[in-house]
Structure 1
Amino acid sequence: MAGSAGNSAQITDGAACLLLASARAVEKHGLPVLGRIMDSHWAGLEPARMGLGPVHAMAPILQRHEFDSGDIDYWEINEAFAAQILACMQAWQDEKFCNQALGLDQPFSAIPDDRLNIDGGGISLGHPVGARIVLHLLKILERKQARRGMASLCIGGGQGGAMLLERVLS
Structure 2
Amino acid sequence: MTAANSTPLTDGAAAVLMMKESVAKSLGYQPLGYLRSYAFTAIDVWKDMLLGPSYATPLALSRAGLTLSDLTLIDMHEAFAAQTLSNLTLFASDKFAQEQLGLSKAIGEVDMDKFNVLGGSIAYGHPFAATGARMVTQTLHELKRRGGGFGLTTACAAGGLGAAMILEVE
* Alignment TM-score > 0.5, same fold: yes
How far did 1:4 drift? 2.1
How far did 1:62 drift? 1.5
- Give the stretch that moved more between structures: 10-19 or 118-127: 10-19
Quote the residue 1:40 is aligned against: 38
- Structure-2 separation of matches of 1:88 and 1:31: 36
1:20 corresponds to which of 13, 18, 21 = 18
SS in 1 for 2:24: helix
Contact kept? 1:42, 1:160, Cα under 8 Å: yes
SS in 2 for 1:129: helix
Distance 1:20 1:65, change over 3 A: closer
Runs of at least 4 residues off by over 3 Å: none
Contact kept? 1:50, 1:160, Cα under 8 Å: no
How far did 1:50 drift? 2.7
Counterpart AA for 1:85: T
TM-score, normalization by structure 1: 0.92
- Structure-2 separation of matches of 1:29 and 1:65: 28
| Structure 2: stretches of 5+ with no match in the other structure | none
Counterpart AA for 1:15: A
Quote the residue 1:154 is aligned against: 156
Q: What's the % identity of the aligned pairs? A: 33
Map Cα deviations across residues 45-81 of structure 1 (whole Å, 9 max, x no partner).
Answer: 1112231101111111222334221111101111000
- Structure-2 separation of matches of 1:77 and 1:117: 7
Quote the residue 1:9 is aligned against: 7
Counterpart AA for 1:90: T
| Structure 1: stretches of 5+ with no match in the other structure | none
Map Cα deviations across residues 99-156 of structure 1 (whole Å, 9 max, x no partner).
Answer: 1111110112211111010011111111262111111110110111131001110011
- Structure-1 separation of matches of 2:109 and 2:52: 17
Contact kept? 2:37, 2:64, Cα under 8 Å: no
Contact kept? 1:50, 1:155, Cα under 8 Å: no
SS in 2 for 1:17: coil
Contact kept? 1:8, 1:81, Cα under 8 Å: yes
Quote the residue 1:139 is aligned against: 141
